[in-house]
Homo-oligomer: A and B are copies of this chain.
Amino acid sequence: MRIGFIGTGIMGRPMAGRLQDAGHRLFIVKHRSAPPQDLLDAGAVLAESAKALAEASDVVFTMVPDTAAVENALFRDRGVAAGLTPGKVVIDMSSISPSATEVFAKRIRELGCEYLDAPVSGGDLGARDGTLSIMVGGAREPFERVKPLFDVMGQTVTLVGGSGSGQACKVANQMIVGINIAAVSEALVLSSKAGLDPVRVREALLGGFASSRILDVHGQRMIDRAFEPGGRIELHQKDLGLALAEAGRLGVATPMTSVCRDLMDACAAQGGAGWDHSALVRAYEQLADHKLSTN
């Protein structure tokens, strides 16, 4: 297939690379920054604009930082929408607003095209290894059509529901991940200040109902003080902002998410916007005047 890929950053670059390696013809677009040389070396074609990229492609992917960036890529002058012809598929893999996604999908479908929202979980490591979890919203027919492309990038690919459902599912994912990080932080700081060794507490707890990916991976990061990202605090702040906006719109009380966002804000205020989100433990350490100590 001819594939256009907009957004070749930390996540998008390895994802586009995997599609290219699988034998697809790749089109990328000019940025302010130089385009990734490895993609060009492997034969990627540099389009003059998002419009030109869309004209050349069967399927157009976007993988950009936020809702405004997706809207801009799709609907600005000489954007993707201007280059679409009926039958093409637009797939947004960014993590953005579920309700804005419903609007974008409607506008794309009015052009006779298909739209899928397909945000991912698994980080840059998952992007490189093709082990992402991909949560998809949209119709079944285009989903089945592009499923082989998803399979090149992800290990768990789930059609969750209609347009916006992928983004809503990602929001739910980020709520649970963020709250779990706070839970592990809170439990480790309390037990450490009580004199326990966090290494043994983590081990004992992994054997029971408190077990989770976050206790395993991020609990270890907290103990090792391994706070280089990974998943940045500032991106998780954005995701929890989306969660709270959806919750407000729908009338759902989300007290744990609210508290978790406050703690992320505190962590960012302490200079941690660019730290890995496991560094949320530092906000707790500040409040307790106690740093996790291993015996």
Whether A122 contacts B208 by the Cβ 8 Å rule is yes
Within 8 A of B (CB), among A195-219: 195-197, 200-201, 203-205, 207-215, 217
Cα A159 to Cα B209 in complex, Å, equals: 18
Within 8 A of B (CB), among A165-180: 165, 168-169, 171-173, 175-177, 179-180
Within 8 A of B (CB), among A241-295: 243, 246-247, 250-257, 259-260, 262-263, 284, 287-290, 295
Whether A250 contacts B161 by the Cβ 8 Å rule is no
Collect the chain B residues with CB atoms within 8 Å of residue A246's CB: 190, 194
Partner pick for A256 among B158, B183, B209, CB 8 A cutoff? B183
Q: Does A25 contact B (CB under 8 A)?
A: no
Q: Does A133 contact B (CB under 8 A)?
A: yes
Cα A209 to Cα B253 in complex, Å, equals: 23
Contact with B along A134-147 (1 / 0, CB 8 A): 01000000000000
User: Shortest CB–CB separation between residue A231 and chain B, in angstroms?
Assistant: 8
Collect the chain B residues with CB atoms within 8 Å of residue A173's CB: 187, 204-205, 208-210
Whether B160 contacts A257 by the Cβ 8 Å rule is no
Collect the chain B residues with CB atoms within 8 Å of residue A58's CB: none
Q: Does A186 contact B (CB under 8 A)?
A: yes
Whether A190 contacts B212 by the Cβ 8 Å rule is no
Decide: A158 near B211, CB < 8 A? Known: A195-B165, A287-B253: no
Collect the chain B residues with CB atoms within 8 Å of residue A165's CB: 194-196
Partner pick for A121 among B135, B209, B290, CB 8 A cutoff? B209
Most buried by B among A122, A190, A201, A209: A209
Most buried by B among A121, A176, A243: A176
User: Shortest CB–CB separation between residue A184 and chain B, in angstroms?
Assistant: 6
Whether B177 contacts A179 by the Cβ 8 Å rule is no
Shortest 8 CB-CB contacts between residues of A and residues of B: A156-B207, A212-B212, A121-B208, A133-B208, A179-B183, A172-B187, A158-B204, A176-B210
25 A-B pairs, CB-CB below 8 angstroms?
Answer: A121-B208, A122-B208, A135-B204, A160-B201, A165-B194, A168-B190, A168-B196, A169-B191, A173-B204, A173-B208, A173-B209, A176-B187, A176-B210, A176-B215, A180-B183, A186-B252, A190-B246, A190-B247, A190-B250, A190-B254, A212-B214, A251-B288, A252-B290, A255-B263, A259-B259
